Structure 1
Amino acid sequence: MKLIIAGDLVPGETNEELFSNGNVEELLGEDLKKVWTSAEWRIFNLEAPITDSVTPIEKCGPNLRASMSTITGIKKLKPSLITLANNHILDQGVQGLNSTELLLKKHNIHFIGAGKNIRHASAPYILEKGGFTIGVYTCAENEFTIATEKTPGANPFDPLESLDHIADLKSKCDYVIVLYHGGKEHYRYPSPYLQKVLRKIVEKGADIVVAQHSHCIGCYEKYLDSTIIYGQGNFIFDRLDNEYWSTSLLIDINIGDKLEVNYIPIVKNGNVIRLAQKEKAEDIIEKFNARSSDIRQENFIEEQYKRYAKERLEGYLKSLAGFGKWTSRLDRKLLKGAILKKLYTKDKYLAIQNYIECEAHRELLIKGLEGVRKGGR
């Protein structure tokens, strides 16, 4: 039995017509289409609600949307299962999620990872074929689109609940695959926390764990008898043109007495994707393997993340201080960062760290911010 997992899919303005016409041949190309359709099971993450109504929620980042006509191409991709646990599925509000669910049900496309409340959103899916049962569970880091006990949205990762869900699923299945929508965008290595979480997911029974969301190929590791992939890149998502979005992987899983995991490199070609060829394919896999070797070095993940955090800190501090584009430029170019240095004394650094690090402070801060966002000051 062969199963292929792809990354994030969003039909956009540049390829909407191809999706609406069901032109899978152009979206994938002949070689990649053969690989894609050779699998008995095909899974990918739908990173946008499918709706013709524009009702964006208040959030950080873009509010994505795919037109309802694009369901033609989505169905032509013959997905066995679509996952919806991501940070965009509620971008157009509850109506966008409802529209997506109704459309997928109408076309007999199975989906998991979102629902009318957290109980529905956290339900797994079990594939059965050839005498094997494969459980699939998906969850997302906590952003603006998560479900609660009373409201719709995506299934959030909750260490007090999700790990039990995975252990329970393992008790019912031969194999368990977990798709975790999280990690830092455009960062090719796991953070120390992400590695800890995904390793714990393995300890609870997962045979394969895939961290999606980063929009770039990361690395992988073998942990216990399982495989963890820290970033596979996009599937079909034409939003940016940069080094991160230009290449991706399909995860090719052969299922028998054990799971055999292989990686199929693909490349972005304008508004469509293609199977990577020869030297390009070799280069993608070589760099993927090199990064995977990097993380096996003692303290590599911690030191790499420490450097990355130092590079990104200034951007976070400017955001917290309310810097706009022109204030930021003025401070950086003319004042050599004097405003930022004046605003953030050592005591303020310590206070911010405490607010974020301490569970009680963090919970109270988040609840207060939610109140402002939803009801005003």
Structure 2
Amino acid sequence: MINLNNIKLSNEKLNPDNCWNIVLAGDFCPIMRFNNGCGINELLNRTFSQELLNFVRGADVAIVNMEGPVRSVATSISKSGPSIQLDSEAPAVLKAAGFNIVTLANNHIMDYSSVGLSKTLESCQASGLMVCGVGEDLEAAMSSVKLEVKGARIEIFNFCEQEFGVAKSTYPGAAWISHPVALKNIATAAKRSDVVIVVAHGGIEEVPFSPVQRSLQLRQFIDAGAALVVGHHPHVPQGWEKYGKGIIFHSLGNFLFDYSDGKRYPKTEWGIMLDARFSGKQLFEIKLVPVEMIENRTVDIMGKVHNMESHLQYLHKLSSIISDVCRALSYWQETAAYLWQTRYKSWLQRACNPGLSSNKSIRSSIAKLFQRENLGPGNIMNAGIKDGLACLNMFRNESHRWAIETALEVYTLDSKDLRTNETNEEFKKLLSWTEG
């Protein structure tokens, strides 16, 4: 009988004296949850179940993605998309829950400028959390967290795709996943350390598959020496693939995610945590631990709201698809085509010329944008800034660009269309898990 919770990676005989583990969780975003004057123990009990706390606290190392800066007096930057501030108690709650490290390279960490980042770093330091993926400049952001567990030398890197907050050579921000230094630093770390882990924030929200181009990028990290690559950002869990001497998890989904409008989105209220188990420098097993947000907005091990077995079967289905090169590409084409029709086409038309009817061409829409904004040095009209930022994000962000590129390659017959009636029907079934 197949154990759906376990991924076996090695059959070598283990030395129990040098076994250790690391737990990884997805996106953590508490908003208007802790602002009630409660003590830390009450906040913990209202946020996590005791079973989940025991699981995290039992790990040698525990990592979670803190999806944005903590609340501060700073004003939000000019960007496309919402700006997020987490409750100021977030770092203290995470530390009390048993987490040691927070990853901060994500698309929201610079939403409130360097002021918000500085406040976040101060709060994490005061709480005793190590941070990864950000820094006062590019060199600092791209560096790793180094630690030693039972004699194993470990380095952890954290990168994100480009939106509006990546670090520059002399400016603070997040570590950019596509910067050449990323691969170089991983390769260097692999030579001096026993285990290298990469946490990669990116992909596309609320779809079952990541871009195949992102998969190729993450595989490069394995080739450079990483044993484990873990992704998040899509708000929903996606599959995994064994590659070379490592394994890649495309998205863990949400760990805890509140929305400022107070609404709840059930299909994003579950995710997976990983219990990665090592013997010295050998990654021999990964245990999948599905989690869910239950009725009172507490995060618990899955079982009260959702059926764990069916959700694990869904994830194994995704993994079987992305582990096959041809199937992975055909389902990615399905995903990109769907995204073009339901998101990108209308977003581009709206950004380029608000009010333009949908039967107008993209070419005329973009031409209208350039006319309206009178693009030139220092000559962008304020009224068009938001529209320009939306276009910039679609063209500059890796996953958005890959989706648009793939869809247009299929529609223009520039690439072979691998979609079939069978893949289309199956894609719709899988999509029902993530959207709507």
With the shorter chain as reference, the TM-score category is 0.7 to 0.9
Summarize the Cα distance change of 1:64–1:325 in structure 2 as closer, same or farther, 3 Å threshold.
farther
Say yes or no: does 1:304 pair with 2:331: yes
2:59 aligned residue:
39
1:275 aligned residue:
301
Say yes or no: does 1:6 pair with 2:25: yes
1:241 aligned residue:
264
Q: Take 2:377 and 2:298, find their aligned partners in 1: how far apart are those partners?
A: 39
Deviations 1:208-258 (A, max 9, x none): 001111111100111112110011111121226335312100010111142
Determine helix, strand or coil for the equivalent of 1:255: strand
Determine helix, strand or coil for the equivalent of 2:116: helix
2:345 aligned residue:
317
Whether the aligned pair in 1 keeps the contact of 2:240 and 2:319 (CA below 8 Å) is yes
1:104 aligned residue:
124
Whether the aligned pair in 1 keeps the contact of 2:91 and 2:129 (CA below 8 Å) is no
Whether the aligned pair in 2 keeps the contact of 1:210 and 1:229 (CA below 8 Å) is yes
Q: Take 1:160 and 1:199, find their aligned partners in 2: how far apart are those partners?
A: 15
1:252 maps to which of 255, 262, 275: 275
Give the Å deviation of 1:20: 6.4
Deviations 1:56-77 (A, max 9, x none): 1111111000232444323312
Deviations 1:117-166 (A, max 9, x none): 11111110112011111110011101101110121110111252210011
1:78 maps to which of 90, 95, 98: 98
1:362 aligned residue:
none
Summarize the Cα distance change of 1:13–1:294 in structure 2 as closer, same or farther, 3 Å threshold.
same
Determine helix, strand or coil for the equivalent of 2:308: helix
Over the matched positions of the two proteins, sequence identity in percent amounts to 24
1:344 aligned residue:
362
Summarize the Cα distance change of 1:17–1:325 in structure 2 as closer, same or farther, 3 Å threshold.
farther
Q: Take 2:204 and 2:38, find their aligned partners in 1: how far apart are those partners?
A: 29
1:217-228 map, 5 Å: 217-228=237-248
Summarize the Cα distance change of 1:27–1:191 in structure 2 as closer, same or farther, 3 Å threshold.
same
1:360 aligned residue:
none
Deviates more, 1:21-30 or 1:182-191: 21-30
Whether the aligned pair in 2 keeps the contact of 1:19 and 1:74 (CA below 8 Å) is no
Q: Take 2:330 and 2:37, find their aligned partners in 1: how far apart are those partners?
A: 44
Say yes or no: does 1:207 pair with 2:207: no
Whether the aligned pair in 1 keeps the contact of 2:348 and 2:362 (CA below 8 Å) is no
Q: Take 1:368 and 1:173, find their aligned partners in 2: how far apart are those partners?
A: 49
2:430 aligned residue:
none
Q: Take 2:141 and 2:381, find their aligned partners in 1: how far apart are those partners?
A: 24
Aligned positions, number: 350
Determine helix, strand or coil for the equivalent of 1:231: coil
Whether the aligned pair in 1 keeps the contact of 2:242 and 2:323 (CA below 8 Å) is no
Q: Take 1:100 and 1:163, find their aligned partners in 2: how far apart are those partners?
A: 27
Q: Take 1:49 and 1:35, find their aligned partners in 2: how far apart are those partners?
A: 26
Determine helix, strand or coil for the equivalent of 2:317: helix
The TM-score with structure 2 as length reference comes to 0.74
Give the Å deviation of 1:37: 1.1
1:359 aligned residue:
none
| More contact order relative to length (CA 8 Å, sep ≥ 6) | 2
Say yes or no: does 1:284 pair with 2:311: yes
Say yes or no: does 1:160 pair with 2:180: yes
Summarize the Cα distance change of 1:58–1:326 in structure 2 as closer, same or farther, 3 Å threshold.
closer
Whether the aligned pair in 2 keeps the contact of 1:46 and 1:84 (CA below 8 Å) is yes
Q: Take 2:349 and 2:44, find their aligned partners in 1: how far apart are those partners?
A: 47
Whether the aligned pair in 2 keeps the contact of 1:19 and 1:72 (CA below 8 Å) is no
Deviations 1:281-311 (A, max 9, x none): 2122111111111223342222112122222
2:251 maps to which of 228, 231, 235: 231
Q: Take 1:26 and 1:281, find their aligned partners in 2: how far apart are those partners?
A: 22
Give the Å deviation of 1:40: 1.5
Q: Take 1:247 and 1:282, find their aligned partners in 2: how far apart are those partners?
A: 13
Q: Take 2:155 and 2:116, find their aligned partners in 1: how far apart are those partners?
A: 27
Corresponding letter in the other structure for 1:304:
Y
Determine helix, strand or coil for the equivalent of 2:289: strand
Whether the aligned pair in 1 keeps the contact of 2:240 and 2:247 (CA below 8 Å) is yes
Whether the aligned pair in 2 keeps the contact of 1:9 and 1:44 (CA below 8 Å) is yes
Give the Å deviation of 1:113: 0.7
Deviates more, 1:21-30 or 1:259-268: 21-30
RMSD: 2.9
